[in-house]
Chain A
């Protein structure tokens, strides 16, 4: 991480806000894991612990009025874009105070007001949606961009190939951000891809690409900033591949038989949050007491989110058939 350049551009407050958001996401997922374990939440969930730097770095490079689409592993994206952990937690609890009143659950939340155009339970489903949002931005003469989070698995869907092609020929202001966490559920990247990198595929569509260390929040931010500036100036889409890793299994029913504990430990040594803390300390940007305080307050905020969700009422069944049509 390059402290000199970073400190010229980013204030201490800004940098500490990245740390806090990453901790919020980590604690959020840890809390969920515990709640599922205790049987306090129904349904399924896909945790993003280990990938926090991608969500936070990307959203840090966007404007509040830019849009993002997310996937099934979307809690981190939502928190990074400014979502309130209380209402995200309540949604996963199936409570009326959740972002979409319990109708969506973990994989189907949205808050258009803050530019979160939805998590998505169909792998790759967010790719054309983000592309279409970018088309609307362009045709309406707005200088906003759309960013699409998706995994390596989604890069094998037709949506990926078709949408990148159209975004390129129409020069749409869209950023394709692939979080390559090496496994599509259990399918290893090197089984499902005959190429080394997802980024290689950008060339087929005449789109520039970047490969970044997805566990380096500042590297992700830099790459997305470059893509956003480019898109805003009318030069069209970019594909960014962030190499990262998910600590938990694909979903809560996964025993991780397809990968080794050694590999997991190896990635944990490159933990994005620990690395960023070290960066802040070694460059004298923050003292260890400040970092401890950030961690403590993030933990407290997630505890509050759980308490809020648990105390919230269930959605009102009387309205379950309402609102199918606008």
Chain B
């Protein structure tokens, strides 16, 4: 009975001889659970994360296992509970904070930007701030303008914090374990639409290194550079391109800060064309920084300008069709890629 229940919750088929496949959401939970088992200094802090299990039920069951002193429900006080986590990190704990929706991280900007990010550089080696801030993010669920944003660009712009955005269940677990073990503040962005994605995840703990991109799909004609949920859209676009006889490489950055410039350069040097795809909105967004790195490092290899596919510069509208209209998707990526392939013809 217990086995059956678990199989349902983690999404695993659990058939003998098969590679275990579980949900993205369960991969995150498993990383938290295994790190908490291994290291008693790992604690969870956030709103409604204990009995309720968090708005997306990621931490469901952990309070029963580790107790309320390690799975700490907070009042609705983002700035101070992030600040408290920063203080606790300075004093030897490794807090993992959940911001219920990434939009709410705006309420904690001082604690992150003026405190967590500064301490190591300003105070030197005596200070380390090993804190992970988990942020369910992104649109596609018709939640509207305060529950749908992806705000990675603000943190890419903040020296002293790392920005990690997994795109697969495998990476969700491995990157989260790396983030928890890292001695720096990490903004860990979880696309809400990926929670129900299933994929292969080993049951034992493992790490995926921060700062290293992944070639999600090998190709030779054009590079689609992305991260997080948009990697899935890029793969769909790559399928569409393949039908036109175009071999597209999909590069999954995994970490936006530090950014893997080497992997970007290697791929674009090979393909000569790049489309940068981000769910974040266009102006001064993540796509702007990535595109700039392409131009700075690969100009001599480029056969066409760099194109961006990003969200429109509008607050996220609520109605599903309006939301779809402003967010990037496979078709928009496909069209951008085609325009580059046709460039100069």
Contacts and interface: CB of A to CB of B under 8 A. Distances in A.
A69 B130 CA distance: 19
Interface in A81-102: 100-101
A122 B110 contact: yes
Given A103-B121, A166-B74, A323-B120, A136 B87 contact: yes
Nearest to B92: A136
A101 B124 contact: yes
Interface stretch (A109-117, A183-191, A196-204, A233-241): A109-117
Contact of A162 (B80, B115, B126): B80
Interface stretch (A7-15, A127-135, A260-268, A289-297): A127-135
Interface residues of A, number: 43
Given A129-B86, A166-B74, A137 B91 contact: yes
A170 to B, nearest CB: 8
A146 B85 CA distance: 14
Contact of A159 (B83, B92, B120, B126): B83
A108 B118 contact: yes
Given A131-B80, A162-B80, A112 B120 contact: no
Contacts of B159: 324
Interface in B125-162: 125-130, 159-160, 162
B196 interface: no
B77 A166 contact: yes
A135 B84 contact: yes
B69 interface: yes
Given A166-B74, A326-B184, A128 B87 contact: yes
Contact of A129 (B72, B92, B115): B115
A67 interface: yes
B210 to A, nearest CB: 10
Interface in B72-130: 72, 74-75, 77, 79-93, 110-111, 114-115, 118-130
A71 to B, nearest CB: 13
B75 A162 contact: yes
A145 to B, nearest CB: 12
A323 B86 CA distance: 18
Given A135-B87, A139-B69, A325 B122 contact: no
Given A110-B123, A132-B83, A158-B79, 8 more contacts: A128-B81, A130-B87, A133-B88, A135-B88, A163-B77, A165-B77, A323-B121, A325-B160
Interface of B: 41, 43, 69-70, 72, 74-75, 77, 79-93, 110-111, 114-115, 118-130, 159-160, 162, 183-184
Top 7 A-B pairs, shortest CB-CB distance: A132-B87, A128-B83, A162-B80, A136-B91, A162-B77, A326-B183, A132-B84
15 contacts: A67-B91, A69-B87, A103-B123, A118-B119, A128-B84, A129-B86, A129-B87, A131-B87, A132-B84, A132-B91, A133-B87, A159-B79, A323-B125, A325-B120, A326-B128
